[in-house]
Structure 1
Amino acid sequence: MITSVKNNCTDYLRKQSVRQHHVGIQVTSATTDTPEVIYTIGELEEMLHTALKQLPENVRRAFELSRFGNMTYNQIAEEMSVSPKTIEAYISKALSVLRAELKDYLPFVLIIYNIS
């Protein structure tokens, strides 16, 4: 039990560190936005929304709640009345589709939307 708690704490701290790093990148890039950068971000947003529309409704909803709503898999599972493992499978499927659809732009999308 002690090992489990230790591992959960380590995972939490690592995730927070990654999020803070991405927020720092976003703040830095927000201060240097040029019209070209703003246009490129708009294009990426459109491509992301197009890719998300291709997903089945339940997969898209789980992905959006997880990545844009900052909900945990357990919270999403309760809201959607499915198991957390099902949510995990939905997110995995969504990420694989997004990787395929946005393969050339995925690093930029990850930075913009903090999808990690």
Structure 2
Amino acid sequence: MVSIETIKAAQAGDREALIALLRDIESHVYRTAYYILGNEQDAMDASQEALIRIYTKITSYEEKALFKTWVQRIVTNICIDKFRRTKPSVSIDEHEMVFASEQDVEAAVLRKDAAKDIHEAIERLPEHHRAVVVLRYLNDFSYNEIADTLNLPINTVKSYLFRARHQLQGMLADYQKGGVRG
């Protein structure tokens, strides 16, 4: 992750440090945006907006919070605002795949179907539940980091995660039984 020296250099106006900092965080920003918003185009727009905001506000970052928490707060807030303005639509990219055997094809299709189902289940969660799931399980944030990022009490974070897990278990019950959704 980003070093404090790089952050301080970027805050002091070092253009190369700022570019390195933005490059280091852009994939994390995009991943969060994609899972909250649910489609590539909206995620790219939100990521770009978040990176611009980080670029323009880097001097306002204070070491009171972890840098990744500060960054995730920015991208999450942008995504939640964007989500409220427009409801997301699912966009699954189709890629040509080459496999050695039929078993490889079947395994790849099952993995892709499972990933699609999980993504769609996350998309159906209420926006705050979705945000805590993305921060916890995709960005590996602690409860405290999620609370700081979303400006929520820690018990609310725990409650949202509990409810989100329960909802996801219901939506993905066929996988728990070893079956395939149909």
TM-score interval, smaller chain: 0.5 to 0.7
Task: Give the aligned partner of residue 132 of structure 2.
Answer: 62
Aligned-residue RMSD, C-alpha: 1.6
Distance 2:176 2:149 in 1: 28
Q: How many residue pairs end up in the alignment?
A: 76
Structure with a larger share of its residues in helix: 1
Q: Does 1:49 align with 2:111?
A: no
- Which of the pair has more CA radius of gyration? 2
Structure 1's 95 and 107: CA in aligned 2 closer, same or farther, altered over 3 A?
A: farther
Q: Supply the distance in 1 between the matched residues of 2:114 and 2:151 (Cα, whole angstroms).
A: 32
- The superposition leaves residues 37-64 of structure 1 with CA deviations (integer Å, 9 ceiling, x where unpaired) of 1110100111111111111111101011
- List 4+ stretches of structure 1 deviating above 3 A: none
Amino acid corresponding to residue 86 of structure 1 in structure 2: T
What is the letter of the counterpart of residue 140 of structure 2? N
Normalization by structure 1: what TM-score?
0.61
Q: Does 1:35 align with 2:105?
A: yes
Identity of aligned residues (%): 25
- Give the counterpart of 2:151 among 76, 81, 85: 81
Task: State the partner residue of 2:169.
Answer: 99
CA distance in 2: counterparts of 1:83 and 1:34, whole angstroms: 46
Gapped runs of 5+ residues in structure 1? 1-32, 109-116
Cα displacement string for residues 54-109 of structure 1 (whole angstroms, at most 9, x for unaligned residues): 1111110101110010000100000000011111111111111111010111477x
Q: Which residue of 2 aligns with 1:18?
A: none
Aligned-partner Cα distance in 1 for 2:125–2:115:
16
TM-score (ref. length: structure 2): 0.40
